[in-house]
C-alpha cells in the first residue's frame, strides 16, 4: 500500500517515457475547454470558456469561428500554466469538436468568410425537403448512413454555396476552404495560410452526408447531388494519427488526433468492443453503441456513423441515437425564462417538488431527432394546471432528458438485439444527481459515471496519446476506466409505465406543428 | 486601530444610491451623485458586479442586485459547487486511490453534496444527500472551523474516539483553521479515517469542504499521521475548486 501511495501521490519515480501531458481541446457547442491529462489518464489542468451562440432569425444558430479559434489559443496556454508545462512537455494534442457545424474560411487571409453555421440550425429545411421529395429522406442512407435532415453538414454547405454565387466560384478554385470545426482548428494550429493542413477526421466526415461509409472517402455521387466542389473539402484522415506539427499556440507539439465530440466520448469511455455503449449529456444527448468493423443498418431511426479509426487499422462503426436538446433546455430555462441563474440550479428548483405535477416538456426546438426525425415538430409544454409551479417545470425539463434517453435506448436495443444491462454516462449534465437518478428510474437499469466525466476530452487525449506511442494500445486504456458513481433504479414499475405513456403521448402532439413556410 | 476604510464606505454609498434610484443608473450619474471621478465610480461598480451586489441591465445601466435581499444565501449553492468540483474530485480520487466527498454545512451537519467512489470498481453506494455529524468527520471539522456556530457542552459520541467535549473541539478547530486542513481517525466509524480542506468562494468565504476518506490503515501511519502526499493532494484539489469559484490564491 505504501509503495502504491508513493507513486500515485507525487509522481516522483515516474519513468521518463511517462512524463509529460497530452493536451485535449474540447470545442463544444456551449463552451470550449482545454484539459491536460497525465500518463495515468488523470486530469491535471483545465481551462474553460463559455461562448454565446447568435440567433439572427428563428431557426438560425451561428457561432463566431474566429472567436472559437481565439478561445482555443487562449485556453491552451492557460491550462498549461496551471502545471507549469512548456510546449516541450506536451507529448501530443488531440481535438474533439461539436460536429456538423460548418466553417468556411479564406485560404489566404486565414479568416472565416462568414459565421459558422451550427448543427442546431434549421435553415436548410427547404433544401432537405426538396431533395427528399425526389427519392425519399433515406435516398442517400445506403452510402452515407444518414437520412436527409437539417442536422448534417453537407446540406449546410449546399445552402451556403447556393446563397452566394461568388462563394461557389472561390470554392471551385479552392480559394475558400470548407470544414467542420476540427478542420478549422487543425488548419489554424498547423500554420493556417502558411502551410496549414486541411484535413478532417473520418468521424466528422461521417456526419456530412458526403462520405461513403465503406470507402471512407468523399462520394463523387453525393458531392454531385449536394453540389459541393471537392476542391474546397479537406482530406479525410484517421481519428488517431499525427497530422502535423503545431506552429501556433503550442509550437512543435504533434497534432495527433481529432474526433467528433460524441465519438471522442465513446473512445474516452473505452467502448472499444462491439456492443459497448455510452450516453453523453451536454447541449444535446447522444447515445452511441460500438458495432465493430461492419457497417450497421438501423431500422429504428438511428444513424450509422464511424466510431473511430486508429491509424491504418480498419474503422469501427457505431449506431447513434442523437437527441437535439437536453442541456440546451436547461440553458433555455436560464437564459430565456430566467427561472434559474445557473444551469446546475435547476436541480434545487426541481427538488422543491416531489414530482412533475402532471406536466411534460417536449423540447422539439429544432424538430425532433432520433428516433423520430420530425423536422416539423416544435416544442411543447403540456399538462398545465393552476397547480403547476416552476418547480414542476424544472422537473419536466430534467425528465425530458430522461424520457428522450429511453426512446433512443429502446431503438438501440431493437436494432442491435442487445439488452442494455447498465448505461454509461458522461458530460456536463452528469453532475446533476436528480437527473442521473431519473435516467436510472425511467430506464430501469443502473446508470454509471466513470472517474473522468470529461470523457470527450479524455477520448481526444487517448486517441492522440495512442498515435504517438504515449500509451501502447487500447487494452492499456481500458484498464484506466473506473466507476466513479452509480445510480440504481428506484421507481415503481407502474409509475414508470404511466409516465412513459404520458411522455409518448406528449411527443405525438408535437408532430406536424410547422404547417407553413417561415418567411 | 485603523480608521474607516474609504472604499468600503463608498461601496456602501453606491449601493444605497442604486437601491433608491428606482431605475438603472449610468457610471457618470453614479460618479456625479457621489462626487467621484468616472474611473473611480467605474471601478466600484465593476467590483460590486463581480461580487454579485450590482447587476448591469441590457442598456449597460447599473442596478442593485435582487440577491441583496437574500444575503444570507450562500453565493455558491450546492448544485454549482458540485458542478465546479466534479473534475477535481475525480482527479483527487484517481490520485489518492480513495473515495472523495464534498460537503456543505446544513443545519449544523455536514451534508454530502458530491461523492466519488474509491477507484477500485468494488460495489459502493452513493451517499450524496446524506448528512454526517460535523464534529466527528474531517469534512465537518473544516466547515465548523470557519462557521459562526456556538459549540457548547457535550457532543454525541459516534465511536470511543469521537471528540465529545465542546471545549476540546473548539481547540481542535483553531488548529484546523491554522493549518488549513482537518484530519479524523476513527471518530465517526471504526477503522475509517478522513482528511479534508476548505473550498473558498470569491472573497474567502468557505463554500464547502472536500476530502478523502477510507481505511485508516491506508490513510494514516502507525502514529496516526496522514500518509505522505495525502494532505497536499486534498489541498491541491480544494485550491483548484476555489480558483474556479473565483477565490484569489492564498
Ligand atoms: N448540473 C446541471 N444540471 C443540468 N444541466 C446542466 C448542469 N450542468 C450543465 N448543464 C447543461 O449541460 C450543458 C453543458 O454541458 P457540456 O457537456 O459542457 O456541453 P457541450 O459539450 O454540448 O458544450 C449546458 O447545456 C448546460 O445547460
Ligand atoms: Mg461537450
Inform me whether the pLDDT recorded for A2 exceeds 70: no
What's the CA-to-centroid distance between A265 and ligand 1, angstroms?
A: 15
| CA separation for the pair A136, A396 (Å, rounded) | 35
Percent of chain A whose pLDDT exceeds 90: 86
Dihedrals phi, psi of A235, to nearest 5 degrees: -80, 135
Rg of chain A over Cα atoms, rounded to whole angstroms, equals 22
Closest residue to B91, CB basis, from A42, A430, A432: A42
Q: How much is the average pLDDT of A478-494?
A: 94
pLDDT digits (tens, 9 = 90+) for A345-389: 999 999 999 999 999 999 999 889 999 999 889 999 999 999 999
Inter-chain contact B218–A44, Cβ cutoff 8 Å?
A: no
| CA separation for the pair B131, B104 (Å, rounded) | 9
Regarding beta strands B99-106 and B109-116, do their DSSP bridges make them parallel or antiparallel, or are they unpaired? antiparallel
Assign A69 a pLDDT band (cuts: 50, 70, 90): very high
Inform me whether the pLDDT recorded for A183 exceeds 60: yes
Burial class (CB in 10 A: 0-12, 13-18, 19+), A50: exposed
In degrees, rounded to 5, the angle at the alpha carbon of residue A513 between the alpha carbons of residues A511 and A519 is 140
For A43, nearest residue in chain B (alpha carbons) = B91
Assign A515 a pLDDT band (cuts: 50, 70, 90): confident
Ligand lying closest to the C-alpha of residue A332:
1
- The residue with cell 449529456 is A281
| CA separation for the pair B93, B100 (Å, rounded) | 6
Contact residues, chain A, for B120 at CB < 8 Å: 482
Are the C-beta atoms of residues A360 and A396 closer than 8 Å to each other? yes
What's the CA-to-centroid distance between A192 and ligand 1, angstroms?
A: 31
Burial class (CB in 10 A: 0-12, 13-18, 19+), B57: exposed
Residue A431 CA: nearest ligand 1 atom is 1
pLDDT digits (tens, 9 = 90+) for B56-101: 888 889 998 877 777 766 677 899 999 999 999 999 999 999 999 9
Inter-chain contact B126–A485, Cβ cutoff 8 Å?
A: yes
Substitution candidate for ligand 1 out of A429, A432, A449, A456 with most atoms within 8 A of CB: A429
Q: How much is the average pLDDT of A486-515?
A: 95
Inform me whether the pLDDT recorded for A4 exceeds 70: no
Inter-chain contact B228–A9, Cβ cutoff 8 Å?
A: yes
Tell me if the pTM is above 0.90.
no
Q: How many CA atoms lie within 13 A of A237 on its CB side?
A: 22
Q: Which residues pair with A310 in a beta bridge?
A: A240
Inter-chain contact B119–A451, Cβ cutoff 8 Å?
A: yes
Contact residues, chain B, for A343 at CB < 8 Å: 83
Burial class (CB in 10 A: 0-12, 13-18, 19+), A402: buried
- The residue with cell 435516398 is A139
Amino acid at each position: 500500500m505504501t509503495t502504491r501511495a508513493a507513486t500515485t501521490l507525487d509522481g516522483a519515480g515516474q519513468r521518463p517515457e511517462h512524463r509529460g501531458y497530452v493536451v485535449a481541446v474540447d470545442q463544444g457547442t456551449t463552451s470550449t475547454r482545454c484539459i491536460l491529462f497525465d500518463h495515468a489518464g488523470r486530469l491535471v489542468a483545465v481551462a474553460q470558456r463559455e461562448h454565446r451562440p447568435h440567433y439572427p432569425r428563428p431557426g438560425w444558430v451561428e457561432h463566431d469561428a474566429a472567436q472559437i479559434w481565439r478561445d482555443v489559443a487562449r485556453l491552451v496556454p492557460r491550462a498549461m500554466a496551471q502545471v507549469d508545462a512548456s510546449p516541450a512537455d506536451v507529448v501530443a494534442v488531440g481535438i474533439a469538436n461539436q460536429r456538423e457545424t460548418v466553417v468556411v474560411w479564406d485560404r489566404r487571409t486565414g479568416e472565416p468568410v462568414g459565421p459558422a453555421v451550427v448543427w442546431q440550425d434549421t435553415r436548410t429545411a427547404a433544401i432537405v425537403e426538396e431533395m427528399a421529395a425526389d427519392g425519399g429522406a433515406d435516398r442517400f442512407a445506403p452510402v452515407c448512413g444518414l437520412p436527409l435532415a437539417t442536422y448534417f453538414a453537407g446540406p449546410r454547405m449546399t445552402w451556403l454555396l447556393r446563397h452566394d454565387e461568388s462563394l461557389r466560384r472561390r470554392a471551385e478554385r479552392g480559394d475558400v476552404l470548407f470544414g467542420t470545426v476540427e478542420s478549422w482548428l487543425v488548419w489554424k494550429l498547423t500554420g493556417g495560410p502558411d502551410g496549414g493542413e486541411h484535413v478532417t477526421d473520418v468521424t466528422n466526415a461521417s456526419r456530412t452526408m458526403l462520405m461513403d461509409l465503406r470507402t471512407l472517402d468523399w462520394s463523387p455521387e453525393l458531392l454531385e447531388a449536394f453540389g459541393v466542389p471537392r476542391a474546397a473539402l479537406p482530406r479525410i484522415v484517421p481519428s488517431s494519427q499525427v497530422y502535423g506539427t503545431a506552429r501556433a499556440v503550442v509550437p512543435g507539439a504533434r497534432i495527433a488526433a481529432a474526433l467528433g465530440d460524441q465519438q471522442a466520448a465513446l473512445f474516452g469511455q473505452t467502448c472499444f468492443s462491439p456492443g459497448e455503449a455510452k450516453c453523453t449529456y451536454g447541449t444535446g444527448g447522444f447515445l452511441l453503441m460500438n458495432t465493430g468493423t461492419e457497417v450497421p443498418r438501423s431500422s429504428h431511426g438511428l444513424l450509422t456513423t464511424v466510431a473511430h479509426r486508429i491509424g491504418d487499422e480498419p474503422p469501427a462503426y457505431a449506431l447513434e441515437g442523437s437527441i437535439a436538446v437536453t442541456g440546451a433546455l436547461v440553458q433555455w430555462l436560464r437564459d430565456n425564462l430566467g427561472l434559474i441563474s445557473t444551469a446546475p440550479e435547476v436541480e434545487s428548483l426541481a427538488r422543491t417538488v416531489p414530482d412533475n405535477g402532471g406536466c411534460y416538456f417536449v423540447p422539439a426546438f429544432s424538430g425532433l431527432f432520433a428516433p423520430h426525425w420530425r423536422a416539423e415538430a416544435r416544442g411543447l409544454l403540456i399538462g398545465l394546471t393552476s397547480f403547476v409551479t416552476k418547480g414542476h417545470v424544472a422537473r419536466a425539463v430534467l425528465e425530458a432528458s430522461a424520457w428522450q434517453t429511453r426512446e433512443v435506448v429502446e431503438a438501440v436495443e431493437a436494432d442491435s438485439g442487445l439488452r442494455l444491462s447498465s448505461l454509461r454516462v458522461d458530460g456536463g449534465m452528469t453532475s446533476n444527481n436528480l437527473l442521473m437518478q431519473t435516467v436510472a428510474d425511467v430506464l430501469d437499469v443502473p446508470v454509471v459515471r466513470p472517474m473522468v466525466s470529461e470523457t470527450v476530452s479524455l477520448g481526444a487525449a487517448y486517441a492522440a496519446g495512442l498515435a504517438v506511442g504515449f500509451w501502447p494500445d487500447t487494452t492499456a486504456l481500458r484498464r484506466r476506466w473506473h466507476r466513479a458513481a452509480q445510480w440504481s433504479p428506484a421507481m415503481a414499475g407502474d409509475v414508470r409505465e404511466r409516465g412513459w405513456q404520458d411522455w409518448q403521448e406528449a411527443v405525438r402532439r408535437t408532430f406536424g406543428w410547422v404547417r407553413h413556410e417561415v418567411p | 486601530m485603523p480608521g474607516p476604510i474609504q472604499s468600503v464606505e463608498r461601496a456602501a454609498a453606491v449601493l444605497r444610491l442604486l437601491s433608491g434610484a428606482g431605475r438603472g443608473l449610468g457610471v457618470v450619474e453614479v460618479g456625479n451623485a457621489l462626487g467621484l471621478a468616472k474611473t473611480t465610480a467605474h471601478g466600484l461598480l465593476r467590483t460590486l458586479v463581480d461580487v454579485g451586489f450590482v447587476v448591469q441591465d441590457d442598456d449597460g445601466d447599473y442596478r442593485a442586485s435582487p440577491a441583496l435581499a437574500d444575503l444570507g444565501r450562500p453565493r455558491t449553492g450546492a448544485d454549482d459547487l458540485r458542478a465546479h468540483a466534479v473534475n477535481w474530485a475525480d482527479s483527487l480520487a484517481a490520485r489518492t486511490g480513495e473515495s472523495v466527498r464534498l460537503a456543505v454545512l446544513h443545519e449544523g451537519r455536514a451534508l454530502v453534496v458530491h461523492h466519488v467512489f474509491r477507484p477500485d470498481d468494488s460495489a459502493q453506494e452513493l451517499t450524496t444527500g446524506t448528512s454526517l455529524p460535523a464534529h466527528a468527520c474531517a469534512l465537518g471539522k473544516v466547515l465548523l472551523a470557519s462557521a459562526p456556530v456556538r459549540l457548547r457542552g457535550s457532543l454525541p459520541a459516534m465511536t470511543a474516539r469521537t471528540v465529545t467535549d465542546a471545549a476540546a473541539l473548539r481547540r481542535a478547530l483553531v488548529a484546523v483553521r491554522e493549518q488549513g486542513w482537518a484530519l479524523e481517525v476513527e471518530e465517526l466509524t471504526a477503522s475509517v479515517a478522513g482528511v479534508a480542506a476548505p473550498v473558498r468562494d470569491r472573497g474567502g468565504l468557505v463554500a464547502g469542504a472536500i476530502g478523502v476518506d477510507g481505511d485508516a490503515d491506508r490513510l494514516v501511519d502507525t502514529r496516526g499521521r496522514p500518509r505522505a502526499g495525502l494532505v497536499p493532494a486534498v489541498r491541491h484539489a480544494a485550491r483548484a475548486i476555489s480558483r474556479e469559484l473565483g477565490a484569489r490564491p492564498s
